């Protein structure tokens, strides 16, 4: 699968979104304009060309038409065709790259208290591929609803929905060519996030993910360097730090929020991960504020 490599920040910004049913014989007009045109076909077939490259979009297909290139329908629809389109603005892509060549796990520089601007990162958008309609259409429908009643209260949620849509498309590109071990690693991570506040249960993980726990643990360790229990603790401590930073909850209440009932055990675990007790961590943050 070919993907477009885009620089972020900034995030892409929505211009407009639409939804229609094209009748047999209808054909897209020719144009050249400076926005991205993201097309989704939910029923029927759409025939588009970008410069001299023709594309046939069938049910469950999507295409990204790039700014500054000639877009035209190279053939009329032969049946009733349901289409969503999303126009957004963003700098031109750096390059087109195969999804199996993308360094998905390459670490990016993390912002610190000393940084005054965000570090450059990349996002990847499939150029032309199939998509799962039940996964994508809810984003499009929510965006349509927000766009129809656009106001100061809905403009930011609308842009957030676009970001969510693009993240869903990127995740699909990553999963399509990821080895099974990577896919299982992602499933283990999702499971641990969902069950973070519940007692750790290896047997339940096996039953839920339908693989032996030892194999799931190996997959997770291959890509994260942590066992399931270590990853769970890491999630709990990251959440605990956020609660200590942003709430007035007591240390015991923070421990309970992340699934640790024993305050003494929570303090020991936090100190092991952060090097200080929860109380000391909070006091240091207050002192730096």
Write the pLDDT tens digit of every residue in 244-273: 988 889 999 999 999 999 999 999 999 999
Q: What is the mean pLDDT of residues 48-64?
A: 96
Q: Do domains 2-105+114-176 and 230-288 have the same CATH topology?
A: no
Q: What is the mean pLDDT of residues 5-21?
A: 96
Tokens representing 249 are: 């909850």
Residue 162: pLDDT over 80: yes
Decide: 89 and 157 in contact? Cβ < 8 Å. Answer: no
Report percent pLDDT > 70 for the chain: 97
pTM (predicted TM-score): 0.63
Selection from 109, 84, 113, 108 nearest residue 14 by Cα: 84
SS (H, E, C) 161-211: HHHHHHHHHHHHHHHHHCCHHHHHHHHHHHHHHHCCCCCCCHHHHHHHHCC
- Tell me: cis bond preceding 9? Omega within 30 of 0 counts: yes
CATH class of 2-105+114-176: mainly beta
Q: Out of 173-177, 256-260, 268-272, 276-280, which region has the weakest mean confidence (pLDDT)?
A: 173-177
In the block, tokens 């939910």 appear at: 42
Where exactly are the structural domains of the chain? 2-105+114-176, 179-226, 230-288
Selection from 260, 257, 237 nearest residue 249 by Cα: 257
pLDDT recorded at residue 33: 87
Selection from 7, 158, 241, 66 nearest residue 251 by Cα: 241
* Sign of the alpha-carbon torsion through 269, 274, 275, 281: negative
129 band by pLDDT with thresholds 50, 70 and 90: very high
Q: Are strands 2-8 and 70-73 parallel, antiparallel or unpaired?
A: unpaired
Tokens representing 126 are: 């499939």
In CATH, the number for domain 230-288 is 1.10.10.60
- pLDDT, tens digit (0-9, with 9 covering 90-100), for 81-90: 999 999 999 9
**DSSP classification of residue 84:** E
Q: Dihedrals φ, ψ of 284, to 5°?
A: -65, -40
């Amino acid at each position: 699968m070919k993907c477009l490599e885009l620089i972020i920040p900034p995030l892409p910004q929505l211009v407009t979104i639409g939804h229609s049913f094209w009748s047999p014989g209808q054909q897209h007009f020719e144009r050249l304009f400076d926005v991205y045109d993201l097309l989704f076909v939910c029923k029927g077939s759409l025939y588009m060309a970008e410069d001299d490259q023709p594309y046939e979009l069938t049910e469950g297909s999507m295409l990204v038409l790039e700014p500054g290139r000639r877009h035209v329908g190279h053939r009329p629809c032969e049946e009733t065709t349901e289409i969503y389109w999303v126009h957004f603005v963003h700098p031109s892509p750096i390059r087109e790259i195969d999804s199996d060549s993308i360094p998905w796990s390459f670490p990016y520089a993390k912002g610190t208290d000393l940084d005054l601007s965000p570090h450059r990162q990349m996002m990847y958008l499939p150029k032309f591929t199939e998509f799962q309609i039940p996964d994508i259409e809810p984003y499009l429908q929510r965006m349509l609803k927000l766009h129809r009643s656009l106001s100061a209260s809905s403009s930011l949620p609308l842009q957030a929905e676009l970001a969510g849509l693009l993240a869903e498309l990127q995740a699909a590109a990553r999963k399509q060519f990821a080895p099974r071990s990577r896919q299982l690693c992602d499933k283990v991570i999702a499971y641990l996030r969902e069950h973070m506040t519940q007692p750790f249960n290896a047997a339940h993980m096996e039953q839920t993910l339908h693989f032996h726990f030892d194999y799931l643990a190996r997959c997770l360790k291959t890509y994260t360097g942590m066992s399931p229990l270590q990853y769970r603790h890491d999630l709990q401590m990251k959440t605990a730090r956020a609660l200590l930073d942003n709430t007035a909850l007591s240390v015991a209440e923070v421990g309970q929020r992340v699934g640790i009932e024993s305050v003494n055990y929570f303090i020991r675990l936090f100190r092991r991960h952060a090097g200080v007790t929860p109380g000391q961590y909070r006091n240091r943050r207050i002192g730096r504020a």
